[in-house]
Amino acid sequence: MMRTRPLKVALLGCGVVGSEVARIMTTHADDLTARIGAPVELAGVAVRRPDKVREGIAPELVTTDATALVKRGDIDVVVEVIGGIEPARGLITTAFEHGASVVSANKALLAQDGAALHAVAEQHGKDLYYEAAVAGAIPLIRPLRESLAGDKINRVMGIVNGTTNFILDAMDSTGAGYQEALDEATALGYAEADPTADVEGFDAAAKAAILAGISFHTRVRLDDVYREGMTEVTAADFASAKEMGCTIKLLAICERAEDGGSVTARVHPAMIPLSHPLASVRGAYNAVFVESDAAGQLMFYGPGAGGSPTASAVLGDLVAVCRNRLSGATGPGESAYAALPVSPMGDVVTRYHISLDVADKPGVLAQVATVFAEHGVSIDTVRQSGKDGEASLVVVTHRASDAALTGTVEALRKLDTVRGVASIMRVEGE
Contact, 78 vs 10, CB < 8 A?
yes
Q: Are 135 and 158 in contact (CB under 8 A)?
A: yes
Residue 407 burial (CB count, 10 A)? 17
The C-alpha atoms of residue 214 and residue 142 are separated, in whole angstroms, by 10
Residue type for position 172: D
Q: Give kind and range of the element (H or E) at residue 349.
A: strand 349-359
Is 207 an annotated catalytic residue? yes
Set 107, 207, 387, 414: catalytic member: 207
CA count, 13 A, side-chain hemisphere, 332: 16
Alpha-carbon torsion (265, 266, 271, 275), positive or negative: positive
Strand stretches in 2-114, DSSP E = 7-12, 40-46, 62-63, 77-80, 101-104
Residue 176 CB burial class (10 angstroms; 0-12, 13-18, ≥19): middle
The catalytic residues are 207
